[in-house]
Amino acid sequence: MKIFQIEKPDQGIRPALIDKINNLVKPKGSLGTLEEIALQVGLIQQTLTPRLKNPQNIIFAADHGIVEEGVSKSPKEITWQQSANFLKGGAGVNFFCRQHGFRLKVVDAGVDYDFPSGCGIIDMKVRKGTRNYLHEAAMTHQEMEQCIERGAKIVRESNTEGCNIISFGEMGIANTSSSSIWMHCFTGIPLQQCVGAGSGLDDEGIRHKYDILKKSIENYKGDGSAEDIIRYFGGYEMVMATGAMLQAAELGMVILIDGFIMTNCILAASRLYPDVLSYALFGHQGDEAGHKLVLDALRVRPLLNLGLRLGEGTGAICSYPIIDSAIRMINEMDSFAHASITKYF
């Protein structure tokens, strides 16, 4: 599998960043989370004057074999229909991208549909949907490696285009099922607490979903390694997003994490390369059961809690103005010394 060079940002600049933030014309710590964000982005970019440039949101789309077991309320064809709809500009993620100046890219990672050539969807299809992991591995080792590399490739292209802050979204009916299994396997949280309504299951539907996922885990005969769990239970779009996150970290980009599914992708990425978390800002705590628990397991605090559960990167993009405010704070606020104001704390 592709090897990434990911290390925690050099901490040598930390004292200077803290000193600059503490000497802005405000009581020390009075801008709370904005100060924490400015420090983290300054460390990522290794500068006292961090900048946000050309933000992009990448949506990876793919189908899941487990959908055959009735674990989702939404029909499978929604994956390709909504993927095509993103290009028309009328989806939820579209107005957020327009509002906050994000470029949107839609990637076919493994949709069970033939998109017409030149439609605007980036073709990185590995296969027309994963296999049903109730009975067999979702993907082969080769397919997993293809997903990691193709996710990394799209991020390298975005970085070449001048993007230094990137968010990821997903489209794939039944991908909350795969996310729930990753969460359970990587955190040890009981499976029942990891399984939620997804696109709108009722209590009976959630019980059925839990039963199918429990049987899938019982049928698993792999080696239990992070790579094998990712391969066996993952979706093509999820593994591609995982590779994208790892590449973004290697390139020193700021990674904005969206909801339940993308949080579990950064969780998976962190089981391969723990230092990837140093580059991540968690935009939103979604309404899916288990999301708060996985955020707690990662020991991170989301910037927003708006009850969203749409996915697509919407929660991450919603948080962007807060990050922008943090960067404006460190760059645009005057210092006590320059403003000739006596420190009043």
Summarize pLDDT for 264-274 with one digit per residue, the tens.
999 999 999 99
d(CA 152, CA 243) in angstroms, rounded, equals 5
Is residue 236 domain-shared with residue 318, that is, in the same domain?
Answer: yes
**Domain for residue 188, yes or no?**
yes
51-80 average pLDDT score: 96
pLDDT for residue 106: 97
Is residue 282 domain-shared with residue 333, that is, in the same domain?
Answer: no
Q: Which of 136, 157, 312, 332 is catalytic?
A: 312
Is residue 140 domain-shared with residue 61, that is, in the same domain?
Answer: yes
Look-up of token digits 């309404």 = 287
Opening angle at CA 210, ends 207 and 213, nearest 5 = 155
264 is in which domain, residue-wise? 56-322
Is residue 27 domain-shared with residue 69, that is, in the same domain?
Answer: no
Q: Is 312 a catalytic residue?
A: yes
pLDDT over 80 at 344, yes or no: no
Is residue 34 domain-shared with residue 127, that is, in the same domain?
Answer: no
Is residue 29 domain-shared with residue 173, that is, in the same domain?
Answer: no
pTM of the shown model: 0.96
Phi–psi pair at 181, nearest 5 degrees: -70, -45
pLDDT tens digits along 203-249: 999 999 999 999 999 999 999 999 999 999 999 999 999 999 999 99
Is residue 245 domain-shared with residue 297, that is, in the same domain?
Answer: yes
In the sheet that holds 280-282, the strands lie side by side as 122-123, 103-110, 56-62, 165-171, 254-257, 280-282
Q: Which has more pLDDT, 46 or 336?
A: 46
Is residue 24 domain-shared with residue 139, that is, in the same domain?
Answer: no
pLDDT for residue 311: 85
CATH code (residue 42): 1.10.1610.10
